[in-house]
Amino acid sequence: MLMLANEMWWTGEQAGLFGGFAGSMCGVLGASIGVIVPLLANKGKGRNLVYGMFVGMAALGVLALSIGCFALIKDQPYHVWYPGLLLGFILTVLACSIFPVVVLRYRQAEHRLMD
């Protein structure tokens, strides 16, 4: 059992596939957020959908970040921990930095509707 703990979780080729596939899917998520937010937030519609997308994006980022940190703590090779840390960092920072702007857009839309 001790020997299994010291083995690599995946090979460099598998890490490349994981990084490419996960990065592409996160890019699609970011692009869909980038298209949906201006369409819905300026009108004050779809708040639950948009907020849910940001929560999902942040949750995926924290999950990937924690997997990368765990792999780093377990002394896994570079190709094991790097994709998780990179993907998690990007998703978490983007979700947390853009979310206040989206909240502000919804507040502005509410004020326009009240006027």
* Cα angle: 61, vertex 107, 93; to 5 degrees: 20
DSSP 40-54: HHTTT--HHHHHHHH
Tally the residues of the chain. 115
Per-residue pLDDT of 40-50, as tens digits, reads 998 989 999 99
Structure pTM? 0.83
What's the whole-number mean pLDDT along residues 11-23? 89
Please count the other Cβ atoms lying within 10 Å of the Cβ belonging to residue 30. 17
Per-residue pLDDT of 58-71, as tens digits, reads 999 999 999 999 99
pLDDT in the model for residue 60:
93
pLDDT in the model for residue 12:
85
3-state secondary structure 54-90: HHHHHHHHHHHHHHHHHHHHCCCCHHHHHHHHHHHHH
Position 36 pLDDT exceeds 90: yes
